[in-house]
Amino acid sequence: MKRFLNVIVILLLSVSVAFGAEPDPDLAKERQIGRKAVELIEKEWPLTKDPAIESKLEIILNRLEPYMQRRIDWEIRLVKTEEMNAFCITGGFIFFTTGIINELKTDSELAAVMAHEMIHADRKHSLRMAANSNKVTLGALAAMLLSGGSAAPIILAQVAQVAITSSYTMELEAEADRLGLDALIKAGYSPTGMITLFEHFMYQEYKQPIHEFGIYMNHPETPKRLNAAVKILHDRNIPIERKYSLGILRTAIKENGTNIALTVDGMTVTSGNNNPENKIIITRIREALDKYLQAELAPYDLHIVNGALYIGNHFTAGNVKGITPPEEIRANLMKAINKARAKFPTSKFFK
């Protein structure tokens, strides 16, 4: 029986290692520290409940969690405020404001925020900063925080402040960016979500230069961090395709009696008589646009060859009687692309 139990323990440890988990005897202490910090935060921040949003965040969390280094018992909280912020308290307590939920466009962008914040807790960033600031080891810091001594409330406030205001060193921010992006890719989210996330905050800074946004608040460094993320994707030969993280260039087929139309972001790009043959053709055009139409395309990437429309080297639409001709489809697609780009003026679509 004892041998059987030993085998079970070994198997469980093997599974844990296979998923990247590492047993951490200090995690229980971190959770205690985190709960104390959360108590301070919740006295000042109005929490709210929204089952739909919380469910979405839980799904994102569950997809990212296997790619963390440690197995943490994560908890998500929603704060009702227009301020755009997200932060993670040591021990795995993740806070999102309703402001940032409303600002971000897709799950890929929310996942980029989530992954970044999870890395901060996973790698003990706020505790490491507090330990360095107080010139003690992590073990000594934990003992001070859990002892209830006179220094504990001050240091605890410091730990919470670092997380809330994103006052990490650039070294730790770079680590959270790099490892967060890696988790984003492994979890199957569009990694461009981290690119557009940086661009969102750069745009907010241009609009309100004196406002502090908490997350990614060191705006003078944001372009460097954006460039670093772009370089990682380029080095891995991962294309930057913003339509997935911005929720733009979405196609739809609309049928209205005798007419059938293909739209991009609500704009009609091709249409024709509603019959089975035209429906097949327009559906194929839609499939091509879903696969190849990107906001990063240059005008010459949409070109006419022998009367047919190509996106790059990919056939997209031919000249079919009763359906919008390829030259007009191309013009409509350029209008749709330019309209989509205009919503995000700080995005470097051709970079």
How far is 297 from 319, CA to CA, in rounded Å?
22
> Could you write out the DSSP letters of every residue in 33-59?
HHHHHHHHHHHHS-EE--HHHHHHHHH
Beta pairing, strands 302-305 & 308-311 = antiparallel
Cβ 195 vs Cβ 244: under 8 Å? no
- Banded model confidence at residue 47, pLDDT cuts 50, 70, 90: very high
Mean pLDDT of the chain: 86
- Banded model confidence at residue 148, pLDDT cuts 50, 70, 90: low
Secondary structure string (H, E, C) spanning 246-313: HCCCCEEEEEECCEEEEEECCEEEEEEECCHHHHHHHHHHHHHHHHHCCCCCCHHHEEEECCEEEECC
How far is 34 from 122, CA to CA, in rounded Å?
13
Q: Is pLDDT at 267 greater than 50 in this prediction?
A: yes
Count of other CB atoms within 10 angstroms of residue 132:
12
Secondary structure string (H, E, C) spanning 151-220: CHHHHHHHHHHHHHHCCCCHHHHHHHHHHHHHHHHHCCCCCHHHHHHHHHHHHHHHHCCCCCCCCCCCHH
- Banded model confidence at residue 351, pLDDT cuts 50, 70, 90: low
pLDDT digits (tens, 9 = 90+) for 307-350: 999 999 999 999 999 999 999 999 999 999 999 999 988 888 87
Least confident range from 28-42, 80-94, 109-123, 199-213: namely 199-213
Q: What is the pTM of this model?
A: 0.84
pLDDT at residue 161, rounded to an integer: 79
pLDDT digits (tens, 9 = 90+) for 203-227: 776 666 544 545 544 444 778 889 9
DSSP 8-class letter at 221: G
- Banded model confidence at residue 13, pLDDT cuts 50, 70, 90: very low
pLDDT at residue 208, rounded to an integer: 61
Cβ 211 vs Cβ 203: under 8 Å? no
Q: Is pLDDT at 187 greater than 90 in this prediction?
A: yes
HSE on the CB side for 243, CA within 13 Å? 20
pLDDT at residue 127, rounded to an integer: 83
Radius of gyration of the chain (CA): 25
DSSP 8-class letter at 323: B
pLDDT digits (tens, 9 = 90+) for 278-298: 999 999 999 999 999 999 999
- Banded model confidence at residue 15, pLDDT cuts 50, 70, 90: very low
pLDDT at residue 8, rounded to an integer: 36
How far is 299 from 329, CA to CA, in rounded Å?
13
pLDDT at residue 9, rounded to an integer: 36
pLDDT at residue 143, rounded to an integer: 67
pLDDT digits (tens, 9 = 90+) for 224-241: 889 999 999 999 999 999
Q: Where are the domains of the chain?
A: 24-245, 248-342
Least confident range from 65-74, 105-114, 152-161, 173-182: namely 152-161
End-to-end CA distance of the chain: 63
